[in-house]
Structure 1
């Protein structure tokens, strides 16, 4: 018995020993780490055995493997996500979903030639995620930024396929380019119309000079860095598509036919239409040329990664009809990118995009033509012929817009191939060399055919003509960088050194031929037209070539994560300039203090993070015409002399240039405060900045008394300044019931001013297209904003002949504008012109909200501008019997006492057409930019269907607009800063209504 008991005791001891050893023995745990929101796998996630130094990282597919005790705890951490702890509990497979952190300052942002944590950035950099961009009904990614970034003004054009204009912290040039530099996956571009918004992972906007200066001579107007989507995790196939339509909003009401006939009688002072009421409503020409336009988009993406490689392919198709009939845009795009870890020290990769688009163009000025066309004229007569204005007693100042649409034939096509290849070599763990070669190959073609036709007396063409213009773009860029990144105890040091070489080449060929026969198939060739004295063939060409070479360096230093220093310098050389001015040098420095890391902040509860930052830098603008220092000879026909009875061509110098011109210099300072509070639910950023353009290039008129006709001085002669304040706020939270929300807003103030010109107060006048008679409606002068509106001040309307006789305007008539003698010299002339308004917005703002509850999500975005004026040139461009708006008809002067604000129907007569305060209107607006409601199918159904995510949505963009402007929209796109804000028949604003689907497998 004793022996048996002893054996049992030994056996029991061995069992306990075995069990204890089993629990103490390490096991291998495997799993996948993914994003808790979109379920995509996450590479590079740190996996740590808590309380030890044992750690690993997830691979390119989000997979990991680690050995740990069966009772251990694993800690998963990743930048931008909340750390997560998981008990092993003897499990060998543990999959983890990480939730995104609300700690904005811990997120990684893209900066020039690299990335940084937001907390480490000393400049002003704003980031917009690709998912926010794709939620907008925008064919161009820039449009989706509207109202989302403080200090960034986006002005959209309603024309299909058109690129919006973007101004970062105001306008800093008159003669040079005012557009930012775009860098897509490391390749430089002047615009990004070729880019499919669905392909974008994130966009970073560099707003201050210190963050921009690493791009040197191309950075004066800001830099937009774009990263496209990369493959990650297991293979993923997604489809994003929508269908919708666009509808003109705020369509201007025009006088109907009876009202128009009344106005024509009043204008002529005679009864041209004995019975105006007989015409009734007549023709609404806006209804003739406008339509509800279809818009559809389809995008398919395939992406993923393996242990050593990533891959991503996308294919997109977009068709957008314009709200003007026959004005259509179609785009087909494809993008490929990938990378391969060839060895443990060598990584290879590529990015490539192919895009083709075509546009059925619309006739120039068709909007204005519809605005002015006579409503008494029918679209067609009963016999099917076009209604002819010459059949009515209104002269030939108007036309039939339908005929203009029907016989206009012009198509534009663009082909583009862009991308780059790169290699990264890990020389040492902390030292990386990267080389990249990229470029752009593009071809643009415009084919216009004016066929033989007869529509009306004035609208006809007796000789056909074919015009073809073809432009070729051939750009390339090579960049080499060396990056040292190391942590020395409390010191973190990152040093970048690099070199860039690039070439930009453009060539354009234009040709035309007469009497080319019409071909209904659209196959038109110049050779089909004859060549003789009556049918000359014309061929012209032009081109531009610019090369750059650059060297740059940057140092980022941080001590204990609370004292930050950033310093950089770039040297740029360009073939566009000569002599000592061929090279420019652009230094920058920034400093930051993370106050929340200080010991005296540890016990406070107000802020989770708080950082003070300041920066200064220099940038350049080489976007000015090359060879400005070339003396030009003009062979204008007016210089022809008659010698011996025969005309002899002459020439004259029409420009005076300094011996040397060079790029414009920008100098900027920025002071900011940013942080998070309320358990990281609230984030904020405040910035005060000054952006100054020095040695700006622009023209100054020269007196003809020196012997030059229409001469100008062209050179570096001005200084412009933008000074302002920006505020961004965001708050987000999620309740236990599953209701989550995020509300963010931004507000900006910007003041633009010309602070210096070489010639003192000698102004630049422009805006000549805004009125008849060669009048100019804008002025740029020292002490005032660029392109401010300038003209006579209206005091009221003359009511009686007696008022006219007692005034300074003896040639006026009752119903004409009564102007103010501002200088009290007893005369009304050009000396009485005063400042009428500012086309540069003082205030810009946006409010963006996102709500989600269970499977539903809702986003509402608002956007607007204030403190801005618009010049409504449509009211003053009158040459005869054009139509009037209904607003004018209702408020016009048509007899003593009827109106003291609106003139008579004779608005185009006398001095009424001169630029004045009546044409200048409030350009402020508030717009509900986007409303989108979505529903995501629940996971149970998804697993049955084999899908990861299915979401359906419906949205409305620009459906609600609030403004006082009398035109279609106060959002007016103009390329020239000195002609900004002038409405001369702009494309109307439209609302877009869509339903769409997002699916991923």
Structure 2
């Protein structure tokens, strides 16, 4: 190895001698490169002598020096800025100001394993700058993308510390992981909840198969590339912080005490039972249980960053602290982050660097279904009695309604903690001038712990616990990735190309341990140990339990790519990646993922030179194949469940039995995505207008599904796992932007995006037989979604409501069962056979939105700045399961009380109070509601203190701001929020106790020293 390194060093030295000799007759040009807006110096700017391979970079102070012919042209390029060409004309000093260019086709964007000018990219790549992310009141950087990028759907959850759901151009996979791949500074991750949004420099979203295929093994659901902030120029210290609060919005109005008592009496009447309440008026307003569990929640966030660069090094350190209370009482989240990044160049041909991110968080968790419990709790029951004891539903004639939500919150004791260290170290060796070797080793080390304690208590007759139980779960993650790449850049006359070859090896390993013990004392300081509980064997009624599990998979990959440009006008991009994964078996372990993309910059053609309409105009098209290994390990292994009830006695001896939990095929194939993208993009009207129009089609072939089957065939898990279906997403994306700076100091930017996506199942292994899913207690156990050829994945499926039965005569003349009663749903006899049954079910709507859109604005005048963002979705349905999740005397919404059937002619749209009776709970069209919404996503007003004051204070910048996020929401949905996420697409869009939507109001400060 030493000999090889010595050869490289000698070769490099000889190259330098040749270069110096070749340019002896040239002149030396020096200068400084700055930002055109704030005049700060820009380190790391690339300067190239046009038409040659001669180049350099600016140093930490933005200064550069380069040998060039006296009549040469210098090309200055930097990520996020417009490329600028300057003629030398015998000048020895050339200072250059680069203009920020977030929308221009001349901007440099991050792509897989490198960067490119936006105008040279042949795939669909969207870029969002870190400053846009920091304007949002989001604890996760992904949340800030909502409404910013065409074709990207973000579904947020209001729960503190939760990660949003992201879909790039629709559903890419159904089983296993359905999330995109995240690459942070070159390291692969399954999520980025560990990342402080304030540390993000830029995010690139790879949307089409051509741009994604270089990450073939994990690119089926898209790729998000994230670059964190690096040190630039002289040392600076910055503080960014805010304090604010969150408040529940669009809270569902519930029936009050009197209305509830009236409804329960009506339910009893329909069921021919005695009335529960003799005097409904005595309960008045009663208890609003949603107000009992909800609160205005404080939120504070503080970040300090120190960064800078010297002649041969750069560094950046940051620390962040976030404290977020949940809008549900007792729920909170606290996070600490630290980031260290740096690089240095000990000799001219070697560069070394590192990126390290530290994160720890802890949260006070919520009991499962607490929102549903408050939604359905009886308002006739008080929170507390006068003596301070808990209100007991069993003291009231409310039937099977045993829950006091306040008691459930007070006695629930569960806390989660997570620790994570991630990052990488890298080295770059410039073997010869145009050839660079990069080696990177990175990974993540994570520990998580969940401790739950159920103490001895008695709140009500039902809400009580006589024996304490301590449960502890611990999980570990140990992942690593090694990547080696060779990059060769060359310019030969009109020909410019970049060759990339690489190799990757990865390992994913996890381990989990769960244990519990009864009768652990409730110590005052909270230190509880399993050994303090009842020992095994001492009391069979209180056994200790311990379970562990683990998983490990490995992957190996080889890839290559060529980028070619002729006359900076005709573009070609081609790549091939081979991935092998231990998750698959035999000949199926390796998958091959090719791609090709082409571009034509039409505006550079001679026949376009005299036109005035377009400044730039480009057409591009691409094709690619990507893969998905985000499925469980040992997918083709038959799993057997052994339980006590499977034990049989033979000859007086117990014999342990078992049941197959899933049926799997002998071989599971790679799930592949195949896509095309055709687009036109450009700028017009003196580069003030930019536009991009994409048409895409992506197919998922051999998609892996988990299909429910009847337990009667001998499986207790009731599912078949394997390659079951192929499906397609097809759509159109439009992005428009307008940027203008006026002479009076006023500038503004208007950017909008609009997307249409249609999801269609192309084929299934089940043939004409649908794949059903979506069963829950809310649907009486019946399956509420269907996946079938020609329709979207997981569309809602059920009976069509055709009114409400007004009297017994209508029932007698209908096709419905004689057990129906006045006030029940009247179902349409779709097949006309005179019987209402499962054969009359129809498609009820698509849980995936057909239309997504966003409109983002920014305005600046002197020291003031204003940003207003809008966002929405349309063409989507939500299954409001909360309305039917009833087991007795749960409460009703005010909307239901006002519109219910309570006698002949009172309503033909809402049923009687006996919503859970008969066939009313069957999946039907009444539960499926419009999930479209429009919101003002964010409004932020900022003010920069005058430069004269900053000079006196010896500060670079002080900015104060105030904003409101999600304060204005417009939708027809009768639940808390139509923004309903779901992990598996066949079960998506079912609202069963969604965390309430909230608005965030903040006051913040940005200071740079």
- TM-score surpassing 0.5? yes
Question: How many Å separate the matches in 2 of 1:645 and 1:817?
Answer: 55
Q: Does 1:337 align with 2:341?
A: yes
Question: How many Å separate the matches in 1 of 2:601 and 2:29?
Answer: 39
Matched with 2:110 is: 110
**How far has the Cα of 1:581 moved from its partner?**
0.5
| Aligned mate of 1:290, from 294, 298, 317 | 294
Deviations along 1:403-453, one digit per CA (max 9) or x if unpaired, are: 000000000000000000000001111100000000100001000000000
**How far has the Cα of 1:56 moved from its partner?**
7.1
Q: 1:46 to 1:656 in 2, by over 3 A?
A: closer
Deviates most, 747-756 or 657-666 = 657-666
**How far has the Cα of 1:631 moved from its partner?**
2.0
Deviations along 1:377-397, one digit per CA (max 9) or x if unpaired, are: 000000000000000001232
Deviates most, 704-713 or 449-458 = 704-713
Q: Does 1:470 align with 2:455?
A: no
**How far has the Cα of 1:485 moved from its partner?**
0.3
Deviations along 1:229-288, one digit per CA (max 9) or x if unpaired, are: 000100011000000000000000000001101111111113321111111111000110
**How far has the Cα of 1:117 moved from its partner?**
0.5
Deviations along 1:95-125, one digit per CA (max 9) or x if unpaired, are: 7654324761111010000000001100000
Q: Does 1:946 align with 2:960?
A: no
Matched with 1:3 is: none
Q: 1:279 to 1:835 in 2, by over 3 A?
A: same
Q: Does 1:924 align with 2:932?
A: yes
**How far has the Cα of 1:655 moved from its partner?**
3.4
Q: Does 1:779 align with 2:786?
A: yes
Q: Does 1:878 align with 2:882?
A: no
Judge conservation of contact 1:176–1:621 (CA < 8 Å) in 2.
no
| Aligned mate of 2:539, from 503, 525, 533 | 533
Judge conservation of contact 1:102–1:680 (CA < 8 Å) in 2.
no
**How far has the Cα of 1:489 moved from its partner?**
0.5
| Aligned mate of 1:889, from 870, 883, 897 | 897
Q: Partner of 2:217: helix, strand, or coil?
A: helix
**How far has the Cα of 1:75 moved from its partner?**
8.2
Q: 1:864 to 1:428 in 2, by over 3 A?
A: same
Question: How many Å separate the matches in 1 of 2:749 and 2:695?
Answer: 26
Q: Does 1:322 align with 2:330?
A: no
1:576-591 equivalences under 5 Å are: 576-591=583-598
Deviations along 1:938-997, one digit per CA (max 9) or x if unpaired, are: 111111111111111000000000000001110011111111111111100100000101
Question: How many Å separate the matches in 1 of 2:87 and 2:584?
Answer: 63
Which protein is bigger by CA-based radius of gyration? Answer: 1
Question: How many Å separate the matches in 1 of 2:68 and 2:621?
Answer: 47
Q: 1:327 to 1:457 in 2, by over 3 A?
A: same
Question: How many Å separate the matches in 2 of 1:74 and 1:556?
Answer: 23
Matched with 2:23 is: none
Question: How many Å separate the matches in 2 of 1:784 and 1:702?
Answer: 21
Q: 1:704 to 1:395 in 2, by over 3 A?
A: closer
Judge conservation of contact 1:443–1:473 (CA < 8 Å) in 2.
yes
Judge conservation of contact 1:398–1:881 (CA < 8 Å) in 2.
no
Deviates most, 327-336 or 533-542 = 533-542
Question: How many Å separate the matches in 2 of 1:329 and 1:291?
Answer: 15
Judge conservation of contact 1:562–1:593 (CA < 8 Å) in 2.
yes
**How far has the Cα of 1:717 moved from its partner?**
2.3
**How far has the Cα of 1:818 moved from its partner?**
0.5
Q: 1:86 to 1:700 in 2, by over 3 A?
A: closer
| Aligned mate of 2:820, from 809, 812, 817 | 812
| Aligned mate of 1:677, from 679, 684, 697 | 684
**How far has the Cα of 1:634 moved from its partner?**
3.1
Question: How many Å separate the matches in 2 of 1:73 and 1:945?
Answer: 44
Question: How many Å separate the matches in 2 of 1:363 and 1:735?
Answer: 55
Judge conservation of contact 2:400–2:887 (CA < 8 Å) in 1.
no
Matched with 2:17 is: none
| Aligned mate of 1:969, from 967, 970, 977 | 977
**How far has the Cα of 1:63 moved from its partner?**
2.6
| Aligned mate of 2:277, from 248, 257, 273 | 273
| Aligned mate of 2:845, from 837, 843, 846 | 837
**How far has the Cα of 1:307 moved from its partner?**
0.4
Question: How many Å separate the matches in 2 of 1:54 and 1:224?
Answer: 33
Question: How many Å separate the matches in 1 of 2:374 and 2:191?
Answer: 31
Judge conservation of contact 1:130–1:202 (CA < 8 Å) in 2.
yes
Matched with 1:42 is: 42
Q: Does 1:857 align with 2:865?
A: yes
Q: Does 1:570 align with 2:577?
A: yes
Q: Name the count of aligned residue pairs.
A: 973
**How far has the Cα of 1:86 moved from its partner?**
12
Q: Partner of 2:406: helix, strand, or coil?
A: helix
Matched with 2:663 is: 656
Question: How many Å separate the matches in 2 of 1:489 and 1:72?
Answer: 17
Q: Partner of 1:768: helix, strand, or coil?
A: coil
Matched with 1:15 is: none
Matched with 1:236 is: 236
Deviations along 1:762-814, one digit per CA (max 9) or x if unpaired, are: 22222122615312211112221111111111000011122122222211111
Matched with 1:8 is: none
Matched with 2:517 is: 513
Deviations along 1:175-234, one digit per CA (max 9) or x if unpaired, are: 232100000000000000000000000000000001100011110000000000000100
Judge conservation of contact 1:730–1:742 (CA < 8 Å) in 2.
yes
**How far has the Cα of 1:345 moved from its partner?**
0.3
**How far has the Cα of 1:36 moved from its partner?**
3.4
Deviates most, 236-245 or 694-703 = 694-703
Q: Partner of 1:105: helix, strand, or coil?
A: coil
Matched with 1:747 is: 754
Q: 1:504 to 1:565 in 2, by over 3 A?
A: same
Deviates most, 517-526 or 324-333 = 517-526
Matched with 2:14 is: none
Matched with 1:226 is: 226
Question: How many Å separate the matches in 2 of 1:53 and 1:72?
Answer: 16
1:897-916 equivalences under 5 Å are: 897-916=905-924
Judge conservation of contact 1:103–1:676 (CA < 8 Å) in 2.
no
Matched with 1:5 is: none
Q: Does 1:346 align with 2:350?
A: yes
Question: How many Å separate the matches in 1 of 2:150 and 2:870?
Answer: 13
Matched with 2:311 is: 307
Question: How many Å separate the matches in 1 of 2:30 and 2:953?
Answer: 27
**How far has the Cα of 1:87 moved from its partner?**
13
Q: 1:647 to 1:103 in 2, by over 3 A?
A: closer
The alignment's C-alpha RMSD in Å is: 2.6
Deviates most, 945-954 or 190-199 = 945-954
| Aligned mate of 2:599, from 585, 592, 603 | 592
**How far has the Cα of 1:530 moved from its partner?**
2.3
Matched with 2:804 is: 797
Matched with 1:261 is: 261
Judge conservation of contact 2:679–2:694 (CA < 8 Å) in 1.
yes
Deviations along 1:356-401, one digit per CA (max 9) or x if unpaired, are: 0001001110000000000000000000000000000012324100
Judge conservation of contact 1:367–1:985 (CA < 8 Å) in 2.
yes
**How far has the Cα of 1:78 moved from its partner?**
3.9
Question: How many Å separate the matches in 2 of 1:427 and 1:974?
Answer: 49
Question: How many Å separate the matches in 2 of 1:593 and 1:74?
Answer: 24
Judge conservation of contact 1:105–1:675 (CA < 8 Å) in 2.
yes
1:75-154 equivalences under 5 Å are: 77-79=76-78, 80-81=81-82, 83=84, 97-101=97-101, 104-154=104-154
Question: How many Å separate the matches in 2 of 1:97 and 1:559?
Answer: 28
Question: How many Å separate the matches in 2 of 1:696 and 1:743?
Answer: 40
Matched with 2:562 is: 555
Q: Does 1:498 align with 2:511?
A: no
Question: How many Å separate the matches in 1 of 2:88 and 2:488?
Answer: 38
Q: Does 1:480 align with 2:484?
A: yes
Question: How many Å separate the matches in 2 of 1:571 and 1:882?
Answer: 56
Deviates most, 444-453 or 782-791 = 782-791
Deviations along 1:504-541, one digit per CA (max 9) or x if unpaired, are: 00000000010000022221111111202333211100
Question: How many Å separate the matches in 2 of 1:68 and 1:701?
Answer: 70
| Aligned mate of 2:964, from 929, 953, 956 | 956
Q: 1:363 to 1:44 in 2, by over 3 A?
A: closer
| Aligned mate of 1:737, from 739, 744, 748 | 744
